[in-house]
A and B are shown apart, each in its own frame.
Chain A
């Protein structure tokens, strides 16, 4: 009886010892994996165990880690290649565009053209400008979806930027007979990324030029803890589905007469989000309204 009991105790002791031993190995593995996970290193598990089962587990985990690290390396590499390719394509598109647009500008300035030729040249020029604009939008869109835009927040005079941006297109607006009503609170300083904010309002003001008519209102004001930019303009034709305007590639200009890519407002919305803001669009017959609300970061 005693012999059986002592054998059982020895066996039990052995089992407990074995379990503790495995538990120790298990803890070691968890610690190492947690380190690898946390630090995102390319390390592998170092196995000090003599237990066959633990060694086998280690090996399997290492194979998994290895495969995952390979995929990551491949992804980073292809991502870098893609970025480089886009960079190169951008250059390869812009240089011929510059030459074509440059000679068009030179020709438009000569005085010995008949009126037909002048019209045709003006049309070439318009189309080259549209091409440039859409190329810019596409590249910006690419940077946005690749999440390669990081806002650099600084104290920025948003009133000044808004004034300057609208003044930059003063002549173009005047030519189109669009009267602008400005209500910009002076010297508003806000924590912003200047370049991104500039891009947002350039897109919005560009829309007034492309789709607006007769009248527009630009309102910039600080209300409580919010910065509000409200732009209203009259439209040339009513918009059927205003909420879709923020969807990428959505355009109501189905015949594409205005060479509209449908990216403009999507980009405005995404960039505004990056700056901790929100976009609302409303339309009523021939009235269009876009409201941007930025919260203090």
Chain B
């Protein structure tokens, strides 16, 4: 179980975060920056949730001290509403930030992303959705009985969608993530891949929709 250090001076906030995350993670509370840094030195954590406004040592200072010795993912919790100041947070070394008040699902998703980005080989891809399963070793997709070979890019598109079930990808973003190069409006390439992918998915399972097109500019898992 991944271990998360929560540095937050407000007791109610601590209780809330503990309640939300204790089912999936081991959580440890620190009520000040100094206590947080002490715990950070004594124990091993996979992620830190750090409130920006702490009494005594501020969140920014705590982050600076953490960064002297560690690249551990840090998500800052801030009360700021000025996005230029938010951008500064990322510059001083936070991996991500969330503004109070936040959506719990969103914070949860961000924690998952950070843990995934930092866990090296242990990336666990989600391979199953509805009735179909991705077979990474063969670049194929299966319904349990039959399987269908996918092209490399088709496989990558589907894997990206499986791993981000709620997210809407613009065609541009999808292209940049899957092809890993800049998009110059080559909509056709994306459309052809999506359309072929749809045909293959329908061959294996025609009872369910898998890819939803949104206003002609984006796609997501249906």
Contact = CB atoms under 8 A, between A and B. Distances in A.
Contacts of B84: 152, 195
B163 interface: no
Contact of A99 (B12, B105, B168): B12
B152 interface: no
Contacts of A97: 100-101
Interface stretch (A7-15, A49-57, A102-110): A102-110
Contacts of A96: 12
Nearest to A132: B101
Contact of B217 (A95, A99, A182, A187): A182
Given A139-B81, A195-B83, A195-B84, A98 B185 contact: no
Nearest to A160: B172
Nearest to B217: A163
A237 interface: no
B185 A186 contact: yes
A180 interface: yes
Contacts of A101: 101
B16 A99 contact: yes
B215 to A, nearest CB: 5
Given A99-B13, A163-B170, A187-B185, A128 B82 contact: no
Given A99-B16, A163-B218, A164-B170, A105 B103 contact: yes
A95 B170 CA distance: 34
Interface string B88-131: 00000000000111111100000000000000000000000000
Contacts of B103: 105
Interface residues of A, number: 36
Contact of A160 (B19, B170, B184): B170
A182 B215 CA distance: 7
Q: Which of B12, B20, B81, B87 has the most CB of A within 10 A?
A: B81
Nearest to A173: B215
A161 B161 CA distance: 21
A220 B79 CA distance: 33
B196 to A, nearest CB: 23
Interface string A210-229: 00000000000000000000
Nearest to B8: A95
Contacts of B83: 195, 198-199
A247 to B, nearest CB: 23
Nearest to A180: B215
B170 A167 contact: yes
A90 B16 contact: no
A280 interface: no
24 contacts: A91-B53, A91-B100, A94-B79, A94-B100, A95-B100, A96-B12, A98-B16, A99-B12, A99-B13, A99-B16, A101-B101, A102-B101, A106-B16, A106-B104, A136-B81, A140-B81, A160-B172, A167-B215, A180-B215, A182-B216, A182-B217, A184-B217, A187-B185, A198-B83
9 closest residue pairs by CB, A with B: A195-B83, A94-B100, A91-B79, A98-B101, A98-B100, A94-B79, A99-B12, A97-B101, A102-B16
Given A105-B103, A139-B81, 16 more contacts: A91-B79, A91-B100, A94-B99, A94-B100, A95-B10, A99-B13, A101-B101, A102-B104, A103-B16, A132-B101, A163-B170, A163-B218, A164-B170, A167-B217, A186-B185, A195-B84
Interface of A: 90-91, 94-103, 105-106, 128, 132, 136, 139-140, 143, 152, 160, 163-164, 166-168, 170, 180, 182, 184, 186-187, 195, 198-199
